[in-house]
A and B are shown apart, each in its own frame.
Chain A
C-alpha cells in the first residue's frame, strides 16, 4: 500500500472516490443520521396527534420557543468543536438581560431607540463575560469546564445582587411587540433573528478561514500552533462570540417574556450542550456541524409539544431527551469505530490487489 504507487494508478482511484465519498460523507455524518430520528419522531406524532401536531402554526410555535436556544447553540457549537465547553451561557444570558433591563428602565422609552441601546448593552456585557472565559481558557490555561463553571456562578450571583433577586419588568413595547406580533417573510420575529444567526454561523464555521481554524484547534492544537495559527486568539474570539450571542439571546428573552428571568435559566446551558452533542458535534473536538445543532435542538422541542398534544405528561420529555442523548453519542462512536475498521479493510484489500498485480 501507500506512498509510492504510480500516479497513473493513483489518479483514477481518487476520481472514482470523489463521487462516492460525497455520498459516504453525507450518510456518514451524524447530523444526517439524527435527522432521520427527528423525521421518525415527527411522523410518529403526526400520526398519533394528527392536525393538532402537524400544522404550520405548531411548528412556528416550536421555532419561536427554540429561537433563543438556537442563538446560544451557534456559539456553543464553535466552543465544543475546539474541544472546549461553555457552562456559563445561561448565567451570562441572565446577567446580560439584567444589565440591559436596568439600562432600559433608566432610559424609560418604549420605542426602538431604547430597545437598540438595550440590545447593544446586552451584547457588550455578554461579550465581556465571553472574553473573560476565553482569556482564562487560552492564556491562563485553566480548563474550560472550570472557568465556565466559575463564571456561571459569578454571573448569576451578580445578577441576583444587582436585582436583589427580583425580576425587572421594564421592556420597551417595541421589543415586546417584535416578539409577539412582528413577522418577517412570514416568520415570527425571534425565529427570524435565530435563523439569520444560524445561517451566518454555519457559513462562518464551514466556509471561512475562521471556521477552518476552529476545527484545526479542536483537532490538534499543537499542529495548528506550529503552522502559525494564532490558537489563543482564536479561542478568545470564539468564547467572546459565544458570550455576545448569549447577550443577543438575553434581549430576545426580554422581548419574549417582557421581564428578566433570573431563576429561569439554570438548565439552559445543559439543554444547549445536549442539543449540540445530539447533533453530532464531538465533545472531543475537531468535528461538528451547524446543521446538526439545529436538528439537535428540534428533537427535544418536538418531543415536548408532541407529548403535550397526545396527552402524555410533558415530564417524559426529560426522560426521552436523556435517552436520545446517550444513544446518539453511543451510536456515533460505534459508527466511527466501524468506519475506521472499514477504512483499514479497504486498504488491506487495495494492498493485496496491488501485490497481485
Chain B
C-alpha cells in the first residue's frame, strides 16, 4: 500500500545544527502514526517540512505516491493536510464558528457575497455539526473562545483541522495542557478521525497516550528516524530506550 504521505531523506540544517539528517517518514490513510523523540530530535521540524513551512536542503516528499513540492500553507491546506499546533492558533476574541472558518469564510449568496458579506448561519451550523461529530462539547456558539476552558479550545482547534483535513492531520502535543478526562477525550477523537480514513500524525511526549492510540510509532533522534514500531508489540521501556539511545536500533526501516 502506498503511504498517503511519505518523506524520503529529508535534510535541513540551521547553521551548525542538523535539524533533519536524511530522515524518512511515512503515514498511511486511516492510520495513527505517533512521532516521538526527545526535545530537539527534529519532530517539529519534520512537521514543518510536511506542512509547507520549511525549505528543505535535500530530500523528497511524496503525497499519494507522487512527488510534491510544498511551498505554502495554503497549498498544503488545499491538498487536505492540516496541522493543529501546540498553541492551538485560535483567535481568542472570535467565537467558535468564526475560528473554524477563519480564512475560509462561506460567502453570502449572490451579490452580497461578492461584496464580502458572509453566510454566518451556515458557518455556525456547519461548525456545530463538526463539533457534534467529534463529540466535542462547545457550550456556547456565541462566546469568544478566549473565555472557554482548555479542553473546549482544544476541541475547537481539532474540529477545525478535521473539518478541512480530508487526508492528513498533524497534532502537535494535543494533550500537553489537558487533564486526565480531557486527554481521554482527545484520544477518542483521534480514533474517530482515523476511522473516517484520515491519516493522523500524533506528536507527543506521553508514552501511555501514544501506545493507546497509535497504530505505529516512529522514533526520531538527532534529526533521523531511527526506528518504527508497531504499537501493539512494543512497550514504554522500548520506546524510551530508542528515544534516548540507550537501546541500540540498527535501522528504522527494518525495526518494525
Contact = CB atoms under 8 A, between A and B. Distances in A.
Interface of A: 1-7, 10-11, 13-14, 17-18, 21-22, 25, 204, 207-210, 212, 215-216, 218-220, 222-224, 226-229, 286-287, 339-340, 343-344, 347, 350
Given A14-B141, A207-B117, A286 B93 contact: yes
Contact of B102 (A6, A224, A347): A224
Contacts of B118: 207-209, 212
A11 B135 CA distance: 11
Contact of B103 (A4, A5, A10, A228): A228
Nearest to A355: B181
B83 to A, nearest CB: 8
Interface residues on B, range: 35 or more
B93 A219 contact: yes
Contact of A14 (B73, B139, B182, B189): B139
A269 B139 CA distance: 41
B152 interface: yes
A4 B118 CA distance: 30
B199 interface: no
Given A3-B189, A227-B104, A215 B139 contact: no
B90 A220 contact: yes
B116 A18 contact: no
Contact of A223 (B91, B147, B182, B186): B91
A347 B77 CA distance: 34
B143 interface: yes
B141 A3 contact: no
- Secondary structure at the A interface, as helix, strand, loop or mixed, is helix
Given A4-B184, A222-B89, 11 more contacts: A2-B137, A5-B135, A14-B138, A21-B140, A25-B142, A219-B94, A227-B103, A229-B102, A286-B93, A343-B143, A344-B149
A281 to B, nearest CB: 12
Interface in B139-157: 139-143, 146-152, 154-155
Nearest to A344: B149
